[in-house]
Amino acid sequence: MADEIDTLARFDPPFEILGAVPARSPLVLGSPHSGSIYPPDFVAASRLDAATLRRSEDCHVDALAAPAAAALGAPLLRARFPRAFLDVNREPFEFDPYLFEGEMPPGANTRSLRVAGGLGVVPRVVGEGLEIYRRRLPLSVGMARVERLHLPYHAALESLLAQARALHGAAALIDCHSMPSAATTKAAGRRLDVVIGDRFGASADGGLAAAVESSFAAEGLRTARNKPYAGGYVTERHGRPEAGLHAIQIEISRDLYMDERSLTPHSGFPLVAAALLRACKAGLAALPGLVAARAAAE
Q: In this predicted model, what pLDDT tens digit does every residue of 213-235 receive, in sequence order?
A: 999 999 999 999 999 999 999 99
- Contact (Cβ atoms closer than 8 angstroms) between residue 8 and residue 148: yes
Predicted TM-score (pTM) above 0.85: yes
Confidence of residue 295 (pLDDT cuts 50, 70, 90): low
Domain edges within the chain:
2-39+57-80+152-297
2-39+57-80+152-297: CATH class: alpha beta
Between helix 269-297 and helix 61-72 the angle, nearest 10°, is 50
Residue 161 CA to residue 171 CA, distance in Å, equals 6
pLDDT at 291 over 70: no
Evaluated on CA atoms 271, 272, 273, 277, the torsion sign reads: positive
Q: In this predicted model, what pLDDT tens digit does every residue of 16-27 receive, in sequence order?
A: 999 888 889 999
